[in-house]
Structure 1
């Protein structure tokens, strides 16, 4: 009887050790930025301004002390009904960047804007307004009307997200999607980007600080972030949940029977 108790205790200790090893291994798989050294300053790449692409929708607003001078350069406001309610909202019409990278702007005609940043386009329009003596004190505002990114795969809230600023990082996009699920691979997070008719897919390892050096760390409009599932999730897609529970129940039952027979035999 004493020997059996000793064997049971040893089996219990062995199970605890195995569980601890598995837990340590699992934590290394899910922790972000494992190689970052605390309190070590890193240089931040400031060249993250979003550039204007084909199919972008731009809102360009001109203001002046004399509103009549700015009026010919501004698109009209349009009203639209919100759902089935009687209330109406207003929005400004935008300029669509065509396949040649141009927009049709009042008075100035066709302007090639693809490749510019918002700041560069603002400066260009303001300069022309002053130099061509249309407005001496113009205030020019340029905004993206369709800046969005999509996050799909093993995240808690997949979907498309509208971005109000020119700056969003890969980590911020994942945060908007509610972070990765426990089944998401931290070492296989893809950013899919289409520029000038070419599609590029770049994978990132969130466990490494190397993501800060990636040219895809700062996302651009219409980027897609895809988080791959791990092996456990992939296996679950091949076996439904009820069958999985039944398989594991059978395995545990068989192992229990084997251990009991060994103890009784000795």
Structure 2
């Protein structure tokens, strides 16, 4: 009996460790450039581009209704229509007056500087100011979290921990030591495994998420076992219901 108690105690300790974050005693966060990395524009990105200058009337023609509109869902389940410049399958946007401009593969800063340079070189505006923002900067969180959802990120910057917080955190049945992060780079989807029971995430290039990242939290063995056990009882329950129905009909 005492052996059983010891095994149960050790097992419970192991389960508590797997259900908590950052089990190491100290955290050493090194200064790196990951936080400052600007996302690279990709096909199907939806951008808001506004142009202003010291002559608002002259800049007005560059702020015509954007060329693409789409529906966007919020975490509350509401749906709104957003308008912007879609990076098409050729990797380009169509901008008023300036025409086709290659965008895919560039940062927002590079695209902003290119548009500004064209406006100045063609003498279309004096001291133009170009602002570019994502309209579909979003991440998806699936699996064993309280609220699986697609989350729009208005400030274009979010960490993995913040994203999990917005999804209501990982449930007690979710594995914190083997989270999958799916990220598309150059048209290729790559799956990275992340262990949140250690402190390594703080120095990881995956600490900050990128647009269209997908996070999947897989169930732990307890959830899988409970599901299997429940399924094994289904035939017994159905048989019991059938016998009850037969008994009622026979009365």
TM-score, structure 2 normalization:
0.79
**Which region of structure 1 is more displaced relative to structure 2, 226-235 or 62-71?**
62-71
- Per the alignment, in what secondary structure is the counterpart of residue 26 of structure 1? helix
Structure 1 residue aligned with 2:30? 42
Structure 1 residue aligned with 2:73? none
Q: CA deviation at 1:228?
A: 0.6
Q: Which structure 2 residue ranges, 5 or more long, are not aligned? A: 70-79, 237-251
Gap change, CA 1:46 and 1:36, over 3 Å in 2: farther
Q: 1:29 aligns with which of 10, 15, 18?
A: 18
Q: Distance in 2 between matches of 1:97 and 1:53?
A: 7
Count of residues paired in the alignment: 224
Q: 1:148 aligns with which of 118, 138, 143?
A: 138
Q: Which structure 1 residue ranges, 5 or more long, are not aligned? A: 1-10, 80-89, 247-266
Write the deviation string for residues 216-250 of structure 1: whole angstroms up to 9, x where unpaired.
Answer: 33221111100010011112222328949x9xxxx
Q: Distance in 1 between matches of 2:209 and 2:170?
A: 18
Q: CA deviation at 1:169?
A: 1.6
Structure 2 residue aligned with 1:203? 193
Alpha carbons 1:148, 1:163 under 8 Å: kept: yes
Structure 2 residue aligned with 1:118? 108
Alpha carbons 1:50, 1:166 under 8 Å: kept: no
Gap change, CA 1:41 and 1:204, over 3 Å in 2: closer
Structure 1 residue aligned with 2:75? none
TM-score, structure 1 normalization:
0.74
Gap change, CA 1:134 and 1:32, over 3 Å in 2: same
Gap change, CA 1:241 and 1:182, over 3 Å in 2: farther
1:217 aligned to 2:207? yes
